[in-house]
């Protein structure tokens, strides 16, 4: 066993003691980042090349700084995205939402579907759709200037010419696309103002503007997404909106038949928790 693998074992114990949910994986990711190799290549790092900066990264993770802030990267579906302070770190739960949208877009009888991602953050959803749906015209909307900067960097790296980024508010964006959009998708802020996330990685590092929704129940931004989707979508167009696991029924009730919505459904994530609502606007 190499020196690095011994150090990873020690780091794993430290991270486990600190309550890090995936201590071995995180120790290996930090080691791979510091030594400029893939996780599967860690055994190739020679003892003479061991870099003590590894322990600086471990100490930061031990203090519950997000792994993605330490490595500067977040993995989302088939993408490796730049992330850091000021932008929401995309979660595996949202991959399920993006996957639903990608599957529906592939089923559409539309040569070049128009998609709008409201509150794009790092650009994770928009870029995944652009990468996985041929000829999709993807519009990413982000009003926060710091998050916009991260999205711009990721679009330059992964989606140049395939994703259009707009510095606009999701409530009144893109009037030029009214009635022309095939799918609207959003992971808006939805945590009620009085609720505090348990995980320190979320509570202490994700930007509050991306976490906490407005209004007593935290769902004012979801309501804005509903109104914007109703304005943007063509008849038969689809919407998908992420929510917290206890908000399914509340979000479901925002997409009513009286407002023109059909086939409203709540969907679960990989852990079986209510995660996102979808609906179809009007009749085909």
Query: Half-sphere exposure of 50 toward its Cβ, with a 13 Å CA cutoff?
Result: 12
Q: Is 187 annotated as a binding residue?
A: yes
Say if residues 135 and 112 touch (Cβ distance below 8 Å): yes
Burial (0-12, 13-18, 19+ Cβ within 10 Å), 242: buried
Looking at residue 175, the DSSP 8-state letter turns out to be G
Positive or negative: CA dihedral 249, 253, 256, 261: negative
Is 189 marked as a binding-site residue? yes
Active site residue 23: no
- Check whether 249 is labelled as a binding-site residue: no
Q: Is 120 among the annotated ligand-binding positions?
A: yes
Cα 23 off chain centre by: 22
187: annotated active-site residue: yes
The catalytically annotated residue of 33, 54, 76, 88 is: 88
226 is in an annotated binding site: no
121 known member of a binding site: yes
Residue in 66, 76, 154, 187 annotated catalytic: 187
Check: CB of residue 275 under 8 Å from CB of residue 93.
yes
Q: Look at residue 50 and give its three-state secondary structure.
A: coil
Q: Is 142 annotated as a binding residue?
A: yes
- Helix residue ranges, H only, 108-144: 124-132
- Distances in Å between the Cα of 13 and the Cα atoms of 2, 18, 24, 28, 55 are 17, 9, 8, 12, 13
Is 188 annotated in the active site?
Answer: yes
Instruction: Check whether 215 is labelled as a binding-site residue.
Output: no
Is 119 labelled a binding residue?
Answer: yes
Residue 192 annotated as lining a ligand binding site: no
d(CA 101, CA 29): 30
Which residues define the annotated binding site?
Answer: 119-123, 142, 187-190
Pick out the residues of the known binding site for substrate.
187-190
Active site residues: 88, 187-188
Binding residues for S-adenosyl-L-methionine: 119-123, 142, 187
């Amino acid at each position: 066993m190499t020196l690095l693998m011994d150090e990873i074992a020690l780091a794993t114990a430290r991270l486990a003691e600190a309550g890090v949910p995936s201590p071995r994986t995180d120790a290996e990711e930090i080691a791979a980042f510091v030594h400029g190799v893939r996780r599967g290549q860690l055994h190739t790092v020679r003892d003479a090349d061991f870099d003590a900066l590894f322990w600086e990264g471990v100490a930061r993770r031990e203090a519950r700084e997000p792994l993605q802030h330490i490595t500067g990267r977040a993995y989302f579906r088939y993408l490796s995205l730049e992330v850091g302070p000021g932008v929401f770190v995309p979660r595996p739960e949202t991959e399920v939402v993006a996957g639903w949208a990608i599957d529906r877009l592939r089923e559409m009888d539309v040569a070049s579907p128009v998609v709008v991602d409201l509150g794009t953050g790092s650009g994770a959803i928009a870029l995944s759709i652009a990468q996985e749906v041929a000829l999709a015209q993807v519009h990413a909307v982000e009003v926060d200037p710091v998050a916009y900067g991260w999205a711009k960097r990721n679009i330059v790296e992964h989606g140049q010419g395939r994703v259009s980024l707009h510095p606009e508010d999701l409530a009144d964006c893109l009037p030029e696309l009214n009635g022309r959009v095939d799918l609207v998708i959003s992971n808006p802020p939805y945590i009620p103002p009085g609720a505090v996330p348990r995980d320190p990685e979320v509570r202490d590092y994700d930007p509050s503007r991306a976490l906490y929704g407005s209004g007593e129940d935290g769902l004012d931004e979801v309501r804005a997404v509903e109104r914007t989707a109703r304005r943007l979508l063509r008849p038969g167009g689809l919407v998908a909106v992420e929510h917290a696991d206890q908000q399914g029924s509340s979000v479901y009730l925002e997409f009513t038949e009286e407002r023109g919505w059909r086939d409203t459904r709540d969907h679960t994530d990989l852990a079986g928790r209510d995660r996102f609502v979808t609906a179809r606007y009007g009749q085909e």
